[in-house]
């Protein structure tokens, strides 16, 4: 009996990256690159066509929708394809939203070609695959739940790290300034710090926000 190939959608805003992924994956038996998307919005629309099994999704697309949001939209559909995150980012601020959005797996772009192909096949089977760095990140979060930040706390602190004021953070996330202050107060308590600068430094050292 002939086994149907696993059909892939490559979603990344860099043509060179897409070309590299295509070159690696099309040498693998049973894997076929069916389509490419240069934006997260295009990836959502293309995945909805229903003829791909696994979407290889980057997290950052410049302006517009991000990869985590696109993953949530793709996986919410009927008979949705699996989404495998393929990115350079390995902080909690990147990993947790993607996993919460429904990603089946998460691998880094520097993974060996054979590991990437194995991750694609694992995702196609509906099983989870994580890069070692990502798995370690999640295990550390489980081991030290007291310092674990929620997704919203991480978003707030990441914007603070960019130099935004509480009001600007609230405007970006559609929160009141008071709500932002409440999130920061909980962050300070969890990280045992007493200032925005210390919170950003500690969270960066712990890998909770992107360096």
pLDDT surpasses 80 at 142: no
Q: Is the pLDDT assigned to residue 211 strictly greater than 70?
A: no
6, 34, 87, 159, 184 from 125: Cα distances, Å: 10, 18, 21, 37, 40
Contact predicate 100/151, CB 8 Å: yes
Structural domain spans, the chain: 6-141, 146-205
DSSP strand E in 88-150: where? 105-108, 129-130
Give the model's confidence band at 85: pLDDT under 50 very low, under 70 low, under 90 confident, else very high. Answer: very high
Question: Is 146-205 in the same CATH topology as 6-141?
Answer: no
C-alpha dihedral sign at 131, 133, 136, 142: negative
Considering only residues 165 and 134, tell me which one the structure prediction assigns the higher pLDDT: 165
What CATH class is the domain 6-141?
alpha beta
Buried residues in 146-175 as b, exposed as e (16+ CB within 10 A): ebbbeeebbbbbbbbbeebebeebbeeeeb
Instruction: Kindly state the greatest CA–CA separation across the chain.
Output: 65
42 compared with 95, residue with greater pLDDT: 42
User: What pLDDT is recorded for position 2?
Assistant: 54
Mean of per-residue pLDDT scores for the chain: 90
Q: How far is Cα 117 from Cα 151, in angstroms, rounded to an integer? A: 30
Six-digit token pair at 152? 């919203």
- Residue 31 host element (H or E): strand 31-37
Helices 151-161 and 92-100: angle between axes, nearest 10 degrees: 140
pLDDT at residue 146, as a whole number: 63
Structure confidence by residue, pLDDT tens digits, 47-58? 999 899 999 999
Closest alpha carbon to 75 in 111, 100, 109: 100
CATH architecture type of domain 146-205: Orthogonal Bundle (1.10)
pTM: 0.75
Give 144-180 pLDDT, tens digit per residue: 666 678 878 888 999 999 999 999 999 999 999 999 9
């Amino acid at each position: 009996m002939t086994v149907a190939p696993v059909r892939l959608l490559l979603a990344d805003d860099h043509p060179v990256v897409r070309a590299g992924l295509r070159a690696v994956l099309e040498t693998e038996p049973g894997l076929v690159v069916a389509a490419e998307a240069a934006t997260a919005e295009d990836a959502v629309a293309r995945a909805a066509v229903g003829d791909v099994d696994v979407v290889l999704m980057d997290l950052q697309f410049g302006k517009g929708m991000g990869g985590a949001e696109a993953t949530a939209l793709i996986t919410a559909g009927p008979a949705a394809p699996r989404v495998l995150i393929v990115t350079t980012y390995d902080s909690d601020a990147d990993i947790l939203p993607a996993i919460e959005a429904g990603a089946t797996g998460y691998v880094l772009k520097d993974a060996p070609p054979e590991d990437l192909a194995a991750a694609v096949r694992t995702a196609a089977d509906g099983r989870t695959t994580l890069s070692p760095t990502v798995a370690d990140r999640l295990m550390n979060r489980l081991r030290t739940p007291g310092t674990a930040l929620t997704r919203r706390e991480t978003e707030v602190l990441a914007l603070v790290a960019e130099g935004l004021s509480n009001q600007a953070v609230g405007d970006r996330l559609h929160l009141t300034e008071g709500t932002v202050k409440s999130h920061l107060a909980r962050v300070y308590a969890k990280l045992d710090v007493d200032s925005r600068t210390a919170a950003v430094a500690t969270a960066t050292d712990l890998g909770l926000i992107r360096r």
